[in-house]
Structure 1
Amino acid sequence: MTFFNIFSNKKIKERERAKIIVDHREKNSLVISELMKRGHILEFAQLPVADYIVRDIAIERKTISDFKSSLISKRMVNQLNELKQYPKHLFILEGLESRDLYKGNIHENAIRGFLLTIALEFKTPIIYSLNEEDTAKYISILANRKKGKEESIRASKNMLSEKEQLQFILEGFPDIGPVTIKEIMVKFENLKDLISSPKEKLEEVIGKKAEKIYNLINYKFN
């Protein structure tokens, strides 16, 4: 099966397209509808780091208003530190066509200074996008790039807490979302307890999803 790439007028094989992992808080973003228009496969998850993950690249997206409020609350520094858990990462500042970047209560030189800090101190590439559609085009191009050597979508293990590592593992199971993960962490002692549980116990906690998970856990490699 092939998809049609409206940017290059060339056909792209389905296997070359990377699945885009999206933080669940981005569900209502217009970026999502733009990506869906382009035929991308999206998977929603509760990401501890970044808003989008494409192949092994973590992407933090901020509108200009989000960016300014993050500066005031100093939340941005923490997010940038977390973003660096991925060897490949970038920051998208969205909404430059609105011309609001230097308006408001924050001095324009403070904004320029922090943008320089992102690039130089945090060593994070900055992409300036016009709007949601422009952001989606950047993400789409990343997803359509040919895959090189084997890549991981996970952050470096030693940079994540044990709880975050467990959450990443659980998110890999079919149809498992944030609510179900919380239930699992309450009802099961640890990952070993979950994996060794009989199907009946899984059904008590997870319901109809239990059969898929049970079959996956007991699937033979050879």
Structure 2
Amino acid sequence: MPLLDIFSKKQVKIEERPLVIVDIREKNSMIASELVSIGCSIEFKQLKVGDYIVKNTVIERKTVQDFISSMINKRLINQLNDLKEEKQKLLIIEGIEERDIYNSGINENAVRGLILSILLNYQIPIIYTKDTEDTANFLKVLWKKQEKEKELGINEKKKSKDVNEQMQYIIEGFPGIGPKTAKKLLNHYGTIKNVINAEEGEIKKVIGKRADIFNLVNKGYKKLTSTS
């Protein structure tokens, strides 16, 4: 909420803390404390899918060791099947520098094949992070990115609304045209120009009555003579 600085009379906006929903099973992981340390708010919930939720994005996090072990016991496939149903999703593979993902006893091409399958078949984006700190920072940046996109979307809608209101205001300036009639005309014709250029009989069909738009549009302007 904006606050008023009584000295400068300028509005000071308090920056909202990024909120990350954390699965209750991740409560003892380092990610939760890392998120708090970089200024995020966290909320623990029992999640059916994923380990974290940032706004509308569901994130599954795997350390390299988790990724390999869940690949072997097939648990990863079930998790991917659940994750792919989400509209926005991410898979984070963490600790890529600490442990070689191909140095796990599994055929390297099998690992590559699985990664390609996740990207192409499941259509789940993958992010590789160095450690828990890197993962936490990715989650924070994701929140900020989505918040910025949301604000841009709101501004675009507001801009569109402002233009509509201006057009409606102009049409309302004609005799006998109120807000409802102006909206009806603009919804039907699309532009002010089309409304003005429309046939009188056609406008009567649209609004159900005769309009005096044409009388005003076709009237000549009376020049004012200076009295001085």
With normalisation by structure 2, the TM-score equals 0.58
Please say if 1:126 is aligned against 2:95.
no
Partner of 2:106: 106
CA offset digits 1:182-220 (Å, max 9, x no partner): xxxxxxxxxxxxxxxxxxxxxxxxxxxxxxxxxxxxxxx
Shift, 1:13, TM fit: 4.3
Q: Is the contact made by 2:96 and 2:130 (CA closer than 8 Å) also made in structure 1?
A: yes
% identical aligned pairs: 49
- Greater relative contact order: 1 or 2 (C-alpha under 8 angstroms, separation 6 or more)? 1
**Stretches (4+) displaced over 4 A:** none
Counterpart contact for 1:59–1:92, Cα < 8 Å: yes
1:85 is displaced (CA, Å) by 2.5
**Unmatched tracts of structure 1, length 5 or more:** 3-10, 151-222
Amino acid at match of 2:71: L
Which residue pairs with 1:55 in the alignment?
A: 55
| Structure 1 vs Structure 2 CA RMSD | 2.2
SS across alignment from 1:122: coil
Aligned to 2:79: 79
In the alignment, the residues of structure 1 paired with residue 34 and residue 28 of structure 2 have an alpha-carbon distance, to the nearest angstrom, of 11
Please name the residue that 1:45 is paired with: 45
Query: 1:8 maps to which residue?
Result: none
| Bigger-Rg structure (1/2) | 2
Counterpart Cα distance in 1 of 2:29 and 2:66: 13
Q: State whether residues 91 and 124 of structure 2, in contact with CA within 8 Å, keep that contact through their aligned partners in structure 1.
A: yes
* 1:14 alignment partner AA: E
Matches within 5 A, 1:133-148: 133-145=133-145, 146=147, 148=150
Q: How does the TM-score come out when normalised to structure 1? A: 0.59
CA–CA distance in structure 2, aligned partners of residues 69 and 89 of structure 1: 21
Pairwise CA distance, 1:100: 2.5
